[in-house]
Chain A
């Protein structure tokens, strides 16, 4: 049985490689359909487990990304149900569908290229700004905790974070465009 499964996907190593290369994209997709939720990593684990255990079901020639995203959406619903969370914490089905199509249409390297571009863009920030962004994400986006840490008001942090994240997004877009022209 293992041999047949392996042969269907072109070998386990090929499946692992495919799953690996889509991790960043699946994580980003889950982030987009679960705004403000802390369970994205857990759901990503569950998605990976499901995809691995059902790798024999994957039809060669079809879109691995589409299969992975569909699985991720289903795992997200199941997880929220199990956690006894209401449906309003996952985006509208129409929006999830639109986001799925949008992420699927992106290049396979987009998510990892964006991560590399982010590293460059973070390096361009002033040290104080970099610390602020880093602390915000390390403290699970708690403005209150960061306000205490930096001795600033929550409102001033909100404004600063908006500005910094908007700037990082634009920087990543520019960096990716720059890398495309230089490649």
Chain B
């Protein structure tokens, strides 16, 4: 039985829709296979939680409610009377405004997110009651480490925020944006909506505007329509009234300096997926590849085919065309610096290496960017490692820290390759990475470079703004060595975030 069939049968079992014969077979399997039993247990836990949450059952963490059990136990002898109804307090979890069972006011803020968005909601300080799913209460905080969210305040303000984001809902019409990129549309009825960042205090006067707040750069406000009043929080300067097509940037003295308006930094609608770049390799114009995808920077990226005959690098494939590299200097160079630091990222593509072919000793990258300076972990490279007996297998390299999978890839067949860095650090300081080949997660071996110390882990942080840093390259090393990949690459996706297995399976269904 495949994992999918097992999971289907387990769900059907819990729904009571499995035949007696299938129940018996599944029971024997659950008794023999500890992993299958654990999967069943997890689904039973999910089923139980969903039932309790969505049938309006009490959360059953309230001691007072349990204490009434002692006083009213005679009522429980009747199976028609639920002791939940006798409880003093019902805790009902709300999913959307349409299903409010108890409440007089709409939520202060509701949100929805793109799949694979990773976030955490914290209750107001001093409270241990989490806001209901999909909502924030005044005083609660939202921390988004990857992905994009749409926020809608009770006042009618709508916002699209892009990770990384840390914000607190200060009141029903005020947000404290500690960090993040956020676009706001403020309807007339919500005038006076306020956004504060570490450096700026912005009061809306009926408008559409964007705010950039990052810890390692100065905060900015961009006004697209209407008017805002902006003031620096660093010094006691007068507030400035900014109108449409004006943008200001805070500086160390507290002045708000003029800066260029950059609408492309902000999303105004919630995309369907994590921000990503997409290279289909389906066509070129004057040696330039089209870069698609919902990432704000996608449309502005220049990607050039480097070859005496650029159009010859694109060959027919089941998905249109693929990039075919000969190993002799042909590759793709772009002007996109890549995701910096510990920004979570995923690179997914189809790969076919001719049977028995080995790559050049310099191990050119399928995808790479960053600073290749030796002895550091300042680059990001998705490549193939090789053994002396002529096998190639997948590798992620940050520089010194490298992680190898084991599936042999130079067999002449198409393979789906996904390399993921979550941005998180595991025990011992190792970066959290994953490689999936053909939808299966690889067991990884740590393989430090010659300048590494096996007893020490050098911190990972991709540098994209140093002198030696190189922007995204496809099919060639970021070190500037001439050797390129010998093989074909197709349907390349570069995500800002760690994609889920669901997304991986969806990508695999589009086999070249």
Contacts and interface: CB of A to CB of B under 8 A. Distances in A.
Interface of A: 12-13, 16-17, 19-21, 23-24, 27-32, 35-37, 40-42, 45-46, 48-49, 52-53, 88, 91-92, 94-95, 98-99, 102-103, 110-112, 114-116, 118-120, 122-124, 126-127, 130-131, 133-134, 137-138, 141, 161-163, 165-174, 178, 181-182
A161 B133 CA distance: 19
A112 B46 contact: no
B13 A52 contact: no
Given A35-B18, A40-B51, 10 more contacts: A24-B49, A24-B52, A45-B76, A52-B73, A114-B46, A119-B53, A119-B130, A138-B54, A163-B502, A173-B42
A14 to B, nearest CB: 10
B112 interface: yes
B59 A32 contact: no
B83 A126 contact: no
A13 B64 CA distance: 10
A178 B95 contact: no
Interface residues of B, number: 73
Interface stretch (B33-41, B305-313, B364-372): B33-41
Nearest to B38: A102
Interface string B398-440: 0000000000000000000000000010100000000000000
Contacts of B46: 114, 118, 165, 168-169, 172
A12 B40 CA distance: 35
A27 B61 CA distance: 13
Given A41-B57, A114-B46, A167-B502, A122 B133 contact: yes
B111 A123 contact: yes
B48 interface: yes
Contacts of B93: 119
Contacts of B69: 16, 48-49, 52
A103 B41 contact: yes
B275 to A, nearest CB: 16
B13 A35 contact: yes
B247 to A, nearest CB: 32
B43 A165 contact: yes
Nearest to A49: B76
Interface of B: 7-8, 11, 13-18, 20, 23, 27, 30-31, 37-38, 40-55, 57, 59-63, 65-67, 69-70, 73, 76-77, 79, 82-84, 93, 95-96, 98-99, 111-113, 115, 117-121, 130, 132-134, 424, 426, 500-502
Nearest to A48: B69
Nearest to B432: A181
17 contacts: A16-B67, A28-B45, A35-B18, A36-B13, A48-B83, A52-B69, A98-B31, A114-B45, A120-B119, A122-B95, A123-B113, A126-B115, A130-B134, A133-B54, A137-B50, A137-B51, A137-B55
A20 B63 contact: yes
Contact of B424 (A46, A112, A127, A181): A181
B507 to A, nearest CB: 15
A105 B502 CA distance: 29
A145 B389 CA distance: 61
Contacts of A182: 120
B134 A98 contact: no
A165 to B, nearest CB: 6
A138 B424 contact: no
Nearest to A30: B48
A94 B54 contact: no
A32 B111 CA distance: 33
Nearest to B67: A16
B47 to A, nearest CB: 5
Nearest to A79: B79
B502 A170 contact: yes
A41 B115 CA distance: 33
A28 B44 contact: yes
A48 B86 CA distance: 14
Contacts of B23: 88
Contacts of A49: 69, 73, 76-77
Contacts of B118: 178
> Which 6 A/B pairs are nearest by Cβ-Cβ distance?
A36-B16, A32-B44, A23-B60, A28-B48, A31-B48, A137-B54
Given A28-B49, A165-B46, A123 B96 contact: no
A12 B57 contact: no
A19 B501 contact: no
A35 B46 CA distance: 13
Contact of A115 (B53, B112, B426): B53
B11 A165 contact: yes
Contacts of B120: 120, 178, 182
Given A28-B45, A114-B45, A165-B43, A17 B63 contact: yes
Contacts of B134: 122-123, 130
B508 to A, nearest CB: 15
B371 to A, nearest CB: 27
